[in-house]
Amino acid sequence: MTRSYPRAQIHLATCQSLSTGAQPFSDPLCPNKHFQGSYDVVEMDSRPHNLPLEVVLQICQALPLRSIVCVALTSRELYHAQALQKLWRSRLTGLNPKHRLCDCPRLLEARAFKLRSEETEMLYMRTDICNHELLLTLELLDRDLPEHWLCDLCMKLHKRVAQTEDGLTYRPCTLSQSNGLFYRLAPWDYQFQFEDAQQVMKRYIYGAPHGLPFEMIQMDQKWESISDWSPRALGSTEPSPLIWKKSIEVKPEIVFSSGPVLTLWTKQRLFFPSVYIGILGLRSHDWAREIGQKAETHFAICCHANDTGRHVAALLDQPSRLCRASPELRRCDVCLTEYAFFVYQEYNKDSVEIVLSTWTSLGSCKHSFLPAWLTSSWLTSELTWFGERGSFAFPKPFHNNTSEFYDHAAFRRAMVLARSTKRNPPSDMIGRLEPSVSKESDVMLVQTVSDSSDI
């Protein structure tokens, strides 16, 4: 084990150089932090060997667990030193995730987790993470383990995919599936767990072979034909069924907002040919409402907005006129999702194409307790880890369609901070005037500005 950790070497080099009166230098991992001593990588590589083990142990007594692990990994000699091994192993095994043994000050925790003060409150709402030092230590080790991922539910490092004796693959963490969170677009059979989003961000930050590629959460479903009723049921002798079509494209993107942020852009489309619209007009006095109901069934904005049908029906009832201006962007009242509706209609024809574009910010996906991910996710269990800080009672039940969790003061502050961050939707979000799925290329856009943008 010969890995080198500059931060651990700086701890040792600083202590040795304090007695020499050397000039100050800066920590390359923290440019604003200055130390006394000369910074020379080659010289620092040898300094841990020059220090007596007793001095190293004395230094480590005042260091947190993650720094002791760094020191132990700087060389084989220090790693196999029984006294140092006893020190870090005792602290590692003593950090029971079920008991809060070392409760660091909030400011130090926020700095260690690189969280804003409002988001630090979210960390304390995780009643199952009783010892934050263990999570920080595992996070440090995760950087050098490309084939692993850090689960903050069971506080362990798992392999991305494990295999049984028969060669079958499975996810090794059962807790993340039974009590974890996942992103879902139910009508399209599209979903992924938090670990997938975390691994996609890990690949982006550290590169291959870390994490997973963007393609793992990408989706491009071409036009799918759907038949609602047969022509014979309407007295028609035509052999072909009356069909309409739907398609979806999901594209992950990285947006920089005080760090890389994972965003999902979706384009969901429904196309109703003129024959379908004509038959629908004969069997229903309100065909726009019928189309709106189909849009509500097959469109997915997020796990909160559920009034798609009313918006689509209102757009279809508006007088058609050519409008190539950018449509109105609406926002979900809970999560960081922005969306817009488009209605394309061919000249001199009754065929209609409805397009829903959404843009959802999932945050950094570093931890599952950060607000951007929480508000956008679904639960695999009715009982989760949420509870008041300092309470060791059984976690309170909540789901995304209840308000108890969202009314928490710390959560509201975190979401206000997230919403205040300036975010520019990608150009694809503003819609493109594309030809319809029929052979005719001329299209016109029904005006999308309504009286109210509330959900």
Q: How many CA atoms lie within 13 A of 146 on its CB side?
A: 10
Contact 150, 142 (CB under 8 A): yes
Segment 174-196, tens digit of pLDDT: 666 555 677 888 889 898 888 88
Mean pLDDT of 335-341: 87
Give the global pTM: 0.69
Q: Are strands 219-229 and 162-163 parallel, antiparallel or unpaired?
A: unpaired
Beta strands in 43-202 (DSSP E): 148-151, 156-159, 162-163, 169-170, 181-185, 190-193
- Does the pLDDT of residue 60 top 80, yes or no? yes
Q: Which whole-number Å values give the CA distances from 305 to 14, 288, 300, in the listed order?
A: 55, 20, 8
- Does the pLDDT of residue 414 top 70, yes or no? no
Order the strands of the 378-379 sheet from edge to edge: 190-193, 181-185, 378-379
pLDDT at 271: 93
Mean pLDDT of 40-65: 72
Q: Which of 96-100, 192-196, 295-299, 337-341 has the lowest mean pLDDT?
A: 96-100
- Does the pLDDT of residue 154 top 70, yes or no? yes
DSSP labels for 232-275?
GGGT---SSPEEEEEEEEEEEEEEESSSEEEEEEEEEEEEE-HH
Segment 249-301, tens digit of pLDDT: 999 999 887 788 899 999 999 999 888 888 887 777 788 888 888 999 999 99
Phi-psi region of 174 (alpha: psi -120 to 50; beta: other; left: phi over 0): alpha
Q: Looking up tokens 């677009």, which residue turns up?
A: 185
Is 156 strand, coil or helix?
A: strand
- Tokens, residue 162: 């494990």
Helix 287-298 to helix 308-317 angle, to the nearest 10 degrees?
Answer: 140
Peptide bond preceding 209: is omega within 30 degrees of 0, i.e. cis?
yes
Measured over all CA atoms, what is the biggest interatomic distance in the chain, rounded to whole angstroms?
Answer: 98
